[in-house]
Amino acid sequence: MAVWDDVLPERDRLVYEAAGWGADAGYGQRPVLLVVDVIYNFCGDHPEPILDSIKRWRYSCGERSWEGIAALQRLIAACHEREVPIFYTGMDRRPDGFDQGSWNWKSSRSAEPIDVVGHKGNDYVEEIAPQPQDVVFVKRKPSAFLGTPLLGHLVYLGADTVIVTGTTTSGCVRATAVDAAQYNFHTVVPEECTWDRGELTHKVNLFDIQMKYGDVRTTDQVIEYIGGLPQRPCGAATPTGRPNWGQGS
């Protein structure tokens, strides 16, 4: 049973089925893992009901975040073991909010300082924090591709598959998955490794990704795929976190 089955009207299922949507695109051979915005702002600083968490962390997805973090720990460990490159996105903003632009318009709490540069809210959750070999960058809008070095890094690696994890499913995960598909990467979303502040938005957006943009898989399926790859599948360009001064690539 797919995660969206309990909210999908039968008519919609029949329409997409008749139109031929939802075919499996499959995996490539040179994947990278994206960990999108798994910071305290979106998770809170400990597991607690979402309506309690958002009192202090307006972006928080509450307790569901911590279930996702536990699943993500397993996937990150599998990628580190096989030396699959991992990219982390984060966020911060100027105190005046200028760099957020129109992103400030849709929340009555946008002036709160939890995402200002230097606030703990921008720190990666300790349980999945980046290691020295991982690549970290800040983005300004939902997609991890917009205005960031991500695409250039993927070209350099010769990557063909983007595994998208993190939060929120309906926002940054979806925007990143759509852009990955538009750049012609195999796009994979492990369902347990993504989460949202709304149950319906989580399920509906995963359905839409599966129908048109990529493959929604279980975490176990993605870990099995990673385990079947050769060591260091992206080759010599794979980041190591070790000094490389004066050496060729």
In the chain, domain spans: 26-235
DSSP state of 197: S
pLDDT at 114 over 90: no
Contact by Cβ (8 Å): 85, 239 = yes
> Is it the case that residue 96 has pLDDT exceeding 70?
yes
Task: Lowest mean pLDDT of 58-72, 114-128, 197-211, name the range.
Answer: 114-128
Query: Where does 26-235 sit in CATH, by number?
Result: 3.40.50.850
CA–CA separation, 169 and 83 (whole Å): 26
pLDDT of 109: 74
Structure pTM? Answer: 0.92
Q: What pLDDT, on the 0 to 100 scale, is given for residue 118? A: 63
User: What single string gives the DSSP state of each residue in 94-128?
Assistant: -TT-GGGGGGGTT-TTTT-GGGBTT-GGGSBPGGG
